[in-house]
């Protein structure tokens, strides 16, 4: 429900936005790592559930 109506993103950015912007992800190199021992339970393919630092463009 919160993902669909946008309230999750609103709360996420309210509590984390300043720290995320201070981290300057656009100036950093992000390395993706695979974890072969990770349980298949986490819904990794559902992009709505995960923060993507590459998506930060000066919000």
Which burial class, exposed, middle or buried, applies to 20 when counting CB atoms under 10 A from its CB (0-12, 13-18, 19+)?
Answer: middle
pLDDT tens series, the chain, 59 aa = 899 999 999 999 999 999 999 999 889 898 989 999 988 888 988 988 899 888 887 65
**What does the pLDDT read at residue 58?**
61
Pairwise CA distance, residues 17 & 10, whole Å: 10
SS percent in the chain: helix, strand, coil, step 5:
50, 0, 50
Pairwise CA distance, residues 44 & 22, whole Å: 26
């Amino acid at each position: 429900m919160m993902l669909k109506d946008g309230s999750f993103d609103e709360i996420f950015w309210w509590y984390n936005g300043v720290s995320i912007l201070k981290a300057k992800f656009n100036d950093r190199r992000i390395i993706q790592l695979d974890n072969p021992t990770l349980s298949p339970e986490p819904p990794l393919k559902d992009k709505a559930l995960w923060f993507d630092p590459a998506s930060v463009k000066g919000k």
